[in-house]
Structure 1
Amino acid sequence: MRAWAVVETGKPLQEIELPTPEPTGAQVLLEVTHAGVCHSDLHIWEGEYDLGSRGKMRLTDRGVVLPLAMGHEIVGRVVKLGPEAAGQGTKVGDLRVVYPWVGCGKCAICARDEENMCLSPRSLGVYQNGGYATHVLASHVKHLIDIEGVDPALAATYACSGVTVYSAVNKLLPLDPDEPIVLVGAGGLGLNAIAILKALGHKRICAVDVDAKKLEAAKAQGATDTVLASAEGTTQRILEACGGPVAGVVDLVNGTQTSRFAFEALRKGGKLVQVGLFGGEMNIPLPLMPIRALTIQGSYVGNVKELRSLIDIAKQGKIPAIPVETTPQKNADAVLNRLKNGQITGRVVLVAA
């Protein structure tokens, strides 16, 4: 199979040949038709995360091995089933979205279909080759979800962008539909979060970003309020837009500055859900945590049960589509550079030739 792989961190992706995997057990081999380019791919490509005063966390320290075909937002067509995958609702020729956040497959966490929480992760596009390739090996047939009636380019984004924000906003809900929820970041994640909140019946959505063009896209997607972030005064602008401190913030950027103004915007009993991997560190006045009964919670992607639920909602036509641009797989490196430079609104999805 061909892959557009990270061979050396921070260097251009290279088109290389890799052995086409042979499915065993309940594994399934798919020919990749669509692969979304996600902001977290930038961290894998660059090879590290910023931990603030603790320095950098290297991807090699997490067990990432190069060369690696990234890409975890994958739709593909089934070409071969492992012997244990036959008769489980998937057959050769089926088009499926692939759940990528897989674990060891053996522990109690994996048995509960909560593999994103497995202590021995094997995520596609991170620890195993993913969608920046002509083929991908799904770890188990249960990770394949039918997307009939959903645009496959859009469906690909649900495997990360969609399920990540679906899991995150559900950590805030239920709230009164007119209670403002603040979304920090109006990229692919932010636009999907707006779309999914609207699908879930939420009415008051405030988007925050440093890019006025992205805020325009957020407004078009259905955000009721927008706030242009800057080095100073962002919290006050959020309070003005929302009519006071808020019950919930989802920080899809999660950097030092965003965590500060997101925390400061919370009302008593409010919750900050941290999703993004921008990096840095957070300093908070500890007495305010109990005095104001605040919650800060991390949210890591989502589980396969949540992805199935999200796809079911999408099949009903309830989720407004976000802007999706498609481009051939061979352009993967150019797309990563555009994403790094903040030149993408919505999502770019790589498609097979």
Structure 2
Amino acid sequence: MRRFAVTAFGRPLCTLVEDDPVPHGTEVVLDLERCGVCHTDLHLREGHYDLGGGRRLDLAARGMTLPATLGHEILGRVRAAGPEAGAVEIGRRVLAYPWIGCGTCHRCRDGEENLCAAGRCLGVHRPGGFAEAVVVPHPRYLIDVEGLDPSAAATLACSGLTAYSALRKVGGDPARDWLLLVGAGGLGQSALSLARALGHHRIAVADTAPDKRARAASLGADLVLDPADPGARAALLDLETGLAAAIDFVGTPETTRFALDSLRRGGRSITVGLFGGEIALSLPLLPLRALTLTGSYVGNLGELRELVALVQSHRLTLVETETVPLDQAEEAMRRLAAGGAAGRIVLAHAP
């Protein structure tokens, strides 16, 4: 089998050829059909996150080893299962939950594996979906997605899940309160469709790219803004009932500041994007404006199951996808880094 792996941080993916995997214990082997390409994959290939002020979060020091096979939006068919995996239907198409924890800490026991301090995530610490086959450690991480478009279904494991989990943190009255989505790429598009399905009636979208603003408007955003426009904040501050919550899918100092400064008193800002940098906060304004600033990191297994059920019941298409062959993984990464993806690029392999 072939893998397309990071063998040196900051360098192009390399093709590795090795024996087909054999499942042990509770493991399940999937023949890959689809794997989404995510901005997180770009950070992982570089080997760090930008913490601002010249500081970096070194991923090698956080347990990422090379060679590393990226790809965490994994959809495939069950090829084989280990002797302790139980009854697993061979040939079934499944989505793999990638945000796997240690399995023993209190976070994992509480169903919050994505917040485990010793994560063993697919596509980060374990080999991921930029490969012809993937080993999943236990069948509980497999979700039936029969009936869904395979490319769209693959993106639910990260893009869709990240948007859904962030929306669950918004609170308030979705029928009355204004919600701002900052960034109208794959995550923002997913969030817009999901917000409608979850009952949000007043949704604003902000993006500096005209084509993405046009896409958001075509998807039904009630208000579309360019955050670089000097009048954008004033427009949000003048909204009836004010801006109750903002979800920042970009995560730059500029987007975070735009979101915070646009909130009404008692508003909530949820940061999702990992672009990088830092901001200065006036601490007295946090209590004086009664603001909540929180982060949201992907989502848990229960949320992914809820999301798949929601997509199936509402027949949702969360994000525009473009499917390309698996062996074009490096080209797909370069296009994503250059901003050349309207929605989500998905790698496809026919076993």
User: What TM-score, normalized by structure 1, do the two folds share?
Assistant: 0.95
Question: 1:228 matched to which residue of 2?
Answer: 226
Equivalent residues, number: 350
Question: 2:53 matched to which residue of 1?
Answer: 53
The yes-or-no answer on 1:343 pairing with 2:340 is yes
Question: 1:86 matched to which residue of 2?
Answer: 86
The yes-or-no answer on 1:274 pairing with 2:271 is yes
Matched-pair contact (CA < 8 Å) for 2:177–2:241 = no
Q: How far apart are residue 237 of structure 1 and its match?
A: 4.5
Note the aligned Cα RMSD (angstroms).
Answer: 1.6
Question: 1:22 matched to which residue of 2?
Answer: 22
Residue type of the alignment partner of 2:328: N
In 1, the alpha carbon distance for the partners of 2:70 and 2:110 equals 26
In 1, the alpha carbon distance for the partners of 2:140 and 2:26 equals 8
Q: CA, structure 1 residues 297+7, in 2 after alignment: closer, same or farther (shift >3 Å)?
A: same
Question: 1:108 matched to which residue of 2?
Answer: 106
Question: 1:136 matched to which residue of 2?
Answer: 134
Q: How far apart are residue 221 of structure 1 and its match?
A: 2.1
Q: CA, structure 1 residues 251+25, in 2 after alignment: closer, same or farther (shift >3 Å)?
A: same
Q: How far apart are residue 118 of structure 1 and its match?
A: 0.9
1:143-187, Cα deviation, whole Å (9 max, x unpaired): 000012111111110000011110001100342324211011111
Question: 1:307 matched to which residue of 2?
Answer: 304
Matched-pair contact (CA < 8 Å) for 1:227–1:238 = no
In 2, the alpha carbon distance for the partners of 1:147 and 1:312 equals 9
Residue type of the alignment partner of 1:46: E
1:300-320, Cα deviation, whole Å (9 max, x unpaired): 100000000000111113424
Query: Which structure 2 residues correspond to residues 212-251 of structure 1 after superposition, within 5 A?
Result: 212-230=210-228, 234-239=232-237, 242-243=239-240, 245-251=242-248
Which has the larger displacement, 302-311 or 25-34?
A: 25-34
Which has the larger displacement, 35-44 or 223-232?
A: 223-232
1:299-350, Cα deviation, whole Å (9 max, x unpaired): 1100000000000111113424421110001111111111111111111100
Matched-pair contact (CA < 8 Å) for 1:6–1:66 = yes
Matched residues, percent identical? 43
Which has the larger displacement, 315-324 or 189-198?
A: 315-324
Q: How far apart are residue 236 of structure 1 and its match?
A: 2.9
Which has the larger displacement, 50-59 or 113-122?
A: 50-59
Matched-pair contact (CA < 8 Å) for 2:197–2:314 = no
In 1, the alpha carbon distance for the partners of 2:199 and 2:244 equals 17
Residue type of the alignment partner of 2:39: H
3-state SS of paired residue (2:290)? coil
Q: How far apart are residue 201 of structure 1 and its match?
A: 1.7
Query: Which structure 2 residues correspond to residues 31-42 of structure 1 after superposition, within 5 A?
Result: 31-42=31-42
Question: 1:262 matched to which residue of 2?
Answer: 259
Q: Structure 2 unaligned segments of length 5 or more: list them.
A: none
In 1, the alpha carbon distance for the partners of 2:108 and 2:11 equals 35
3-state SS of paired residue (1:121)? coil
Question: 2:4 matched to which residue of 1?
Answer: 4
The yes-or-no answer on 1:184 pairing with 2:210 is no
Residue type of the alignment partner of 1:288: L
In 1, the alpha carbon distance for the partners of 2:103 and 2:264 equals 41
3-state SS of paired residue (1:205)? strand
Residue type of the alignment partner of 1:274: T
In 2, the alpha carbon distance for the partners of 1:18 and 1:181 equals 48
In 2, the alpha carbon distance for the partners of 1:24 and 1:277 equals 35
In 2, the alpha carbon distance for the partners of 1:75 and 1:14 equals 22
Matched-pair contact (CA < 8 Å) for 2:34–2:347 = yes
Question: 2:322 matched to which residue of 1?
Answer: 325
1:112-167, Cα deviation, whole Å (9 max, x unpaired): 22110111011111111100000111121100000121111111100000111100
In 2, the alpha carbon distance for the partners of 1:227 and 1:330 equals 38
3-state SS of paired residue (2:264)? strand
